[in-house]
Homo-oligomer: A and B are copies of this chain.
Amino acid sequence: MPKMSEHIVARFDDELRRLMTGVAEMGGIVEEQLASAVSALVRRDVEAAARVVVGDKRLDDLEAEIEGHIVSLLARRSPVARDLREVVATLKVIHNLERMGDFARNIAKRAQTLSGLEFVGPVRTIEAMGRIVGDMVHEIVEAYISQDVARAMLARERDAAVDGFHNSLFRELLTYMMESPQNITACTHLMFIAKNLERVGDHATNMAEALHFWITGDAVRGERDKADTTASLTAKS
């Protein structure tokens, strides 16, 4: 009998491992999509931007596929305790990754629009912000796969830097817009791109918190202070 039950346990672990492979695949694509979208913006590369827009479909498909596995696994295996938390956390995580993909797609669409406009704007600062966000996503996906809560919590702290970038970009973009009406349309799109990157940071934070819940059984205590204050910013503040 022990052999039989070991066999069942092994198969269950296989199924959980397969979920994690799916998360890793989605994470890798998200990182790539984000980097390509921002690089398409900087290089005014319309074709690269178009590839990002089309490529987002793969993330939608993967999310649907993994969700199907999860529902099937819940029905057949009835996991409890830590295994159940892993499955529920993974359901959240794939949703967060899919949303990050939507933001990358939206950045790519705006990169297409911006490539046709003449403007002055802090594109290089957005590139730097994109790098920080990309690193944060990378760290948290790796932490999730290796079940390393400490690594995820450390990477989560970087969201403050992302919010800081967003705040200063918001102010800077307002200034560009006021200096010259020709900049207004472009800088509006750049504002939404910065906002998209800030939202990706929030979703990465959610992922880190989902990992914390899975491993410890507790929600993260004390919400991280949100440092994004753009909703209160004016040109003078």
- Residues of chain A having any CB pair with chain B under 8 Å: 64, 70-71, 74-75, 78, 80-81, 84-85, 88, 91-92, 95, 106, 109-110, 112-113, 116-117, 174, 177-178, 181, 184-185, 188-189, 191-192, 195, 219, 231-235
CB of A112 within 8 A of CB of B174, answer no
CB of A109 within 8 A of CB of B231, answer yes
For the complex formed by this chain, how many copies does it contain in all? Answer: 2
Bound complex: CA A167 to CA B173 (Å): 21
CB of A184 within 8 A of CB of B88, answer no
Most buried by B among A70, A75, A109: A75
Contact of A71 (CB < 8 Å), options: B75, B78, B84, B106: B84
5 A-B pairs within 8 Å (CB atoms) are namely: A71-B84, A71-B85, A74-B84, A75-B84, A188-B191
CB of B112 within 8 A of CB of A232, answer yes
**Chain B residues with Cβ under 8 A from A231's Cβ?**
106, 109-110, 113, 189, 192
**Chain B residues with Cβ under 8 A from A78's Cβ?**
74, 78
CB of A88 within 8 A of CB of B74, answer yes
CB of B64 within 8 A of CB of A75, answer no
For residue A173, give the distance in angstroms from its CB to the closest CB of chain B: 8
Bound complex: CA A81 to CA B113 (Å): 46
CB of B234 within 8 A of CB of A113, answer yes
Most buried by B among A88, A91, A184, A195: A184
